[in-house]
Structure formats: structure tokens, C-alpha cells
Amino acid sequence: MKKFLTFSCMAILIASLSSCRKKTEPETPFNWVVDRFDDIKVLKYQVPGFDTLILNEKLLIYYLNQAALCGRDIFFDQNGKYNLRIRRTLETIYLHYTGDRQTEEFRQFEKYLKKVWFANGIHHHYSNDKFQPEFSESYFDQLIAGTPEEFFPKDFPSVSEVVATIKPVMFDPTLYPKRANQADGVDMIATSANHYYDGVTQAEVEAYYKQRTDPNDPRPISYGLNSQLTKRNGRIVERTWKIGGMYSAAIEKIVYWLEKAAEVATQPQQKKTIEALIDYYRTGDLHTFDEYSILWVQDTTSKVDFINGFIETYGDPLGYRASWEAMVNFKDEEATRRTETISAEAQWFEDHSPIDSIYRKKQVKGVSAKVITTAMLGGDCFPATPIGINLPNADWIRKDYGSKSVTIQNITHAYNEAAKGNGFDEEFILRKEDRELKKKFGSLGDDLHTDLHECLGHGSGQLAPGVQSDALKNYGSTLEEARADLFALYYLGDPKLVELGLVPSFDVAKAEYATYILNGLMTQLTRIQPGKDVEEAHMRNRKLIAEWCYEKGNGQVIEKVVKNGKTYFVVNDYQQLRSLFGDLLREIQRIKSEGDYEAGRALVETYGVKVDPTLHAEVLERYAKLNLEPYSGFVNPIYKPVMENGQIIDVMLEYTDDYAGQMLEYSKEYSFLPSVN
């Protein structure tokens, strides 16, 4: 599971950064923002501490980085069957169009391409909605006509044929309007544009898995995780993503670099882990994936770590198939002490959780937690990036072997640096004392929220016997995120945190509560277009929690204040709010443990989906005046091997300010799949 940036993080200054980070920052001012277009701001992140790693660690990072970049096309194709054809057509025009580039229409074209790169396809990375080109179809024809045919990909049957195919996909708003459709009561598979399924209906998919899954299997494999489900001659077939299967050309390259990484792995456990991953990519066997996941979760001592594979299922409305993602990182030793303190107390937190005692874990196992510095992002982690990750996702592995949690500090740091002084707090936070509390403790509260969410929240609690982990279906992700958030919020205000020396006082919780509620009720609406519902799981979860607490507190605990025509939400009773968090955590844990789909559905649909149009319009208007982009993502650093006598003797780290340049380079160097898959 991933934790994404809550809106609040953007405006928070990191006050508590470790001193070691400051030493490694360059002397000259660092340019954090490298590009802006539409609703997006592209940043760059620093990799402090890379220079202090030993050669083998640098080599390991270098090889894993290469593996992290080789699956980019897979993710594009998973997001839609026409995405690679569209991207390659747009890139060919961008590089070779001979006509006038100084026109408004060309700028609109360039903006569209930048959005396609950012979203890894033609649907918005966060809202799932297809974005409409601002240029016309006839201008597109002009661009095609002005680009010499020889430059288009060699595997296009003909340019005119491909253009005829992709034009309606790009321009017709009624075609493929959503990448993943989670709307209640529709065929979520047939109406989703993603390429996880092709030509099958939701009913067929559900019947297919009903036949194959055994509700009494205590250790079920992750059915459907690494395949496309489609039809051949009227029969449903799985096309497995492995060497020799679907996406083979890209997976072969990933394996090539993983083999090199295995050779320089610094610990035997890590070498075994990488070899198991290679074996899984070769066979596509999901039992091997479980073996790999167990090895991976047990490797807690390696300095360098990585994620590489088909991991998260947010993109599949039914939660079977996983997007390809990659991240390479190394441990931030100093900041990790904070999360180790929390993890060491995992059992205490579990035993005191406000949930029904029968759903508490008797023994919380192996909750490992660390703060990391990311070195490379790929696939579903790029350019939009999570700030915390907790894996593996298989419930039984989490129960028997624990899970590994990370907080990605250099990403959070970059967000905060880029957001300094943007006027957001002055606009949306009514009381001066709240703004000051946020300035003082917001960053610590936010870091701790992430730590608690990832280290303990997801790993806490247990299912009742016989309940399937997918029982909550399309509401599963939202409710799971709500459960982890509530766990974090509840404990952020616990005196235990003061006792452990993690916070000076309850003020840290106050800062976080105020920001969380404001975000859930109001400011996150800046990410939603007028008239649309809230769709994304993390956003639904925040809305659900904030709206539920507002209602249960009778407008007293959380109060709506209108001043000078502007709406604000203020928290009047923080202790009472904390106890409401506890109540809702108890109920959501019950829903998960019992697989109570109807109750889960009612909670999400009542509190997490529908937007008040008047408030929405007001928030958008106030936000627009600040001239800020609601979404951010990143370019990666560049790693250059230093060669001597055919050997790599060092790896140099550089930063780039060229978003389009990096995207074009990745498309040139790391594009291995055919245009049609």
C-alpha cells in the first residue's frame, strides 16, 4: 500500500530535518521546481548521502536503477491499450515536426504531451478522467502531415492507420472516459479504459475468480496479480506478464539488470531476494512471488533496498491486477531512529487500540519501519510519487511475516521546500494560533502520521476466520486507507507519544488534526473538477473521516465558520475529535474483519464520494487566486558510471532541470515493448 501526499504537506515547512541533510545540500540555491503545466508542477528531489555510500552499494543502486527504468512502457500499456501508440506518435511529432512551433496551438500540443508523460497515458493520474486535447483534430492532422513519415515507429503498420485508430481515442470524450471506473452499479470492468482486461465483463471476471479461489485457503496466492484477462475463441484466458509471456521484451531487460544487481548484493539475504524475483519474472508463478515477498520482507538489514514488480492494485476496480512499479532507495539512519521507536512498541499500540479486542492481533510480528532516501523512481511511482509505502500486500504474509514500511523523507523534503511561502495557510486557515501551531509542529505531526500509518496502521488488526481479504471489493482500498489513517490519528494524540519522547506535547496532534480535517472537508477539493465526485481511494478516505467526524460532533467538535463570505472549518475540541477517530476506527476495523460489504459501501458512499457543489466552487475560486498547482511529481536524478579499464569504479550523481528531455530520453533508451500488446 502507498501513502500519498496529503494536501497539507505541501504548505508545511520541515523544521525537524536532520542536520546531516543540511550538510549534503549544495551551497548554491537548489532549483526545486523544474516545470509547470496545467494542474501539475514538476519538482526534482535531492539524494543526500549518496556520495557517502561504498562502491558496492553505489553499483547496486545503479543496476537497480536501470531495472527501475526498464518497465516504464509496461505501465503505459496497462493504463490503456492505445497509450504507447499515442505517446510514440506525439513524441515523433514533437521531435520532427517541420512546421511552425511558435504558435498557441503547438504550445497546447506540447502541454498535452507533457500531461501524457506525467500520467503515463491519456487519463489523469489522479482523477482517472481522460483529458481532452486543447488543440483541434484538424490541427493534429496538420502536425501529422508536417512530420516526415520515416521518423514514426517502424512497427506502425502505416502512419495513417495508426492515426485513424488513435484520433477518436484522443478526441472523442465519450470514448474511454475513465481509466478505472469505480462508480456504483455499473460494469466496472467493461466501462474502464485500462488494459488489465480486454473484452470481458465484470460478471465474467467475478465468476472466473469465484471458481478458482478457495475461501478456506489460509495462504492464497494473489490471484490475477500479474496477468491480463481476455478472451480467445470465446474462452477466458490469462496472459501472464513474464518472460515469454505478455510484456516479455521489457521484462527481459529488467531481469538483465537484476542479474547484475544480484552479483553485487551486499548481503546473502538480499542476493536470494533478487534471485527469487528473477525466478518469478521468468516463470510468472505467483507462489514464487509469495516466496520472493517473504524473503524481501525479512531483509531488514540491507542499507540499499528496492521495489520492482507488479505490486499495487489501485488501478483495477476489482483489485486483482497490479500496476508495474519500481523504487530504489537507501536507509536514512538518523531519521530511522524515530520509526524504530514506534515499531519497538508495536504490541503496546495493538493492545491499546480502540477496536473490538477479538480483532486485535495477539502478536504483532516483524513490523519494520525505516526512513529512506529514494534514489530512483519508476513505473507507477513516477513522476507522481508516494511519500510512504507499506508492503507486501498479501494479508497472510503480513500476518505471518510482518510488513516493511518506509517513509520517503527526501520526497517530502522536496515538496515542502517547493511550497514555501505560497500563501495557502493564510487563505484557508482562519485562526492565527492554528497557523502558528502548524508552522511549529505541522511537519513533525505529518511525519509521525506517515510513520504510524505505515509502520502500524496497515499492519494492525486481523480478519475473522473465513473472511476473504477482497470481501470489500471496490470499497476495500478506501476503507483500508481510512483504517490506517484513523490508527495514526488516534495515536498521534496519545500520551504514549510524549512518554516515548517523540513529541513534546499534545500540540503536535492538534496541528495535524486541524490540517487533516481542513483537507478532508475542504482543501482537497481543489483536486476535483466541478461537478465530479471524489474517486481516488486516499481522497475518499480523508473525506469519509472528516465528514463523519463533523456530523458525529454535531457541528460543535468541528465547527463551520463563515467569515467575509469565506468558509472555514475549525476544531473546537481536540480530545473529543480524537475519541471520534477511535469510534470510527473501531467500526471500520469491524467492517474489514467481518467483510461487511454493505456497511462499508454505506460509509464510503455516504461520507466519501459526493461533493457539495457550492463549497466546491468557493474552494476552487479561492485556490485559483493563489495560482498553485494541486499536483506534483518529479524528475529523477541522473547516475553516470565512471569507467576505468572496463570496470565501473564510481557512480556520479547529477540533477536535471529538463522534464521533457528526461521523458524523451526514457522513451528512447528504455522503450522495449511493441506499440501494440
What does the binding site for Zn ion look like in residue numbers (CB under 5 A)? 1, 3, 481, 484
Tally of CA atoms within 13 A in the half-sphere of 619 that contains its CB = 24
Strand ranges across the sheet with 227-232: 197-198, 227-232, 235-240
Q: Please state the closest distance from residue 311 (CB atom) to Zn ion, in A.
A: 13
Rounded CA-CA distance 247/639 in Å is 26
Q: Please state the closest distance from residue 296 (CB atom) to Zn ion, in A.
A: 18
Q: Please state the closest distance from residue 457 (CB atom) to Zn ion, in A.
A: 7
Q: Please state the closest distance from residue 451 (CB atom) to Zn ion, in A.
A: 12
Cell of 126: 489522479
Q: How many whole angstroms from its chain centre is CA 202?
A: 25
- The residue with its CB nearest to Zn ion is 1
Based on CB atoms, which residue is closest to Zn ion, 484 or 609? 484
Based on CB atoms, which residue is closest to Zn ion, 484 or 635? 484
Q: Please state the closest distance from residue 231 (CB atom) to Zn ion, in A.
A: 34
Based on CB atoms, which residue is closest to Zn ion, 228 or 541? 541
Q: Please state the closest distance from residue 90 (CB atom) to Zn ion, in A.
A: 34
Based on CB atoms, which residue is closest to Zn ion, 515 or 675? 515
Based on CB atoms, which residue is closest to Zn ion, 10 or 484? 484
Q: Using the structure block, give the residue that is written with the C-alpha cell 480467445.
A: 232
Rounded CA-CA distance 70/65 in Å is 9
Q: Please state the closest distance from residue 89 (CB atom) to Zn ion, in A.
A: 36
The SS3 assignment for 175 reads coil
Q: Please state the closest distance from residue 389 (CB atom) to Zn ion, in A.
A: 8
Q: Using the structure block, give the residue that is written with the C-alpha cell 505478455.
A: 246
Cell of 204: 465474467
Measured CA distances, 238 to 190, 235, 333, 503 (Å): 17, 10, 43, 51
Q: Please state the closest distance from residue 481 (CB atom) to Zn ion, in A.
A: 5
Rounded CA-CA distance 493/504 in Å is 11
Q: How many whole angstroms from its chain centre is CA 18?
A: 25
Q: Are residues 5 and 455 in contact, defined by beta-carbon separation less than 8 angstroms?
A: no
Based on CB atoms, which residue is closest to Zn ion, 3 or 360? 3
Based on CB atoms, which residue is closest to Zn ion, 113 or 484? 484
Q: Are residues 55 and 645 in contact, defined by beta-carbon separation less than 8 angstroms?
A: no
Based on CB atoms, which residue is closest to Zn ion, 1 or 327? 1
Based on CB atoms, which residue is closest to Zn ion, 270 or 403? 403
Measured CA distances, 223 to 219, 235, 401, 670 (Å): 11, 18, 20, 29
- What letter does residue 5 receive in the DSSP assignment? P
Q: Please enumerate in sequence order all residues whose Cβ is within 8 A of that of 506, keeping only pairs 6 or more positions apart, or say none.
A: 493, 498, 574
Q: Are residues 276 and 261 in contact, defined by beta-carbon separation less than 8 angstroms?
A: no
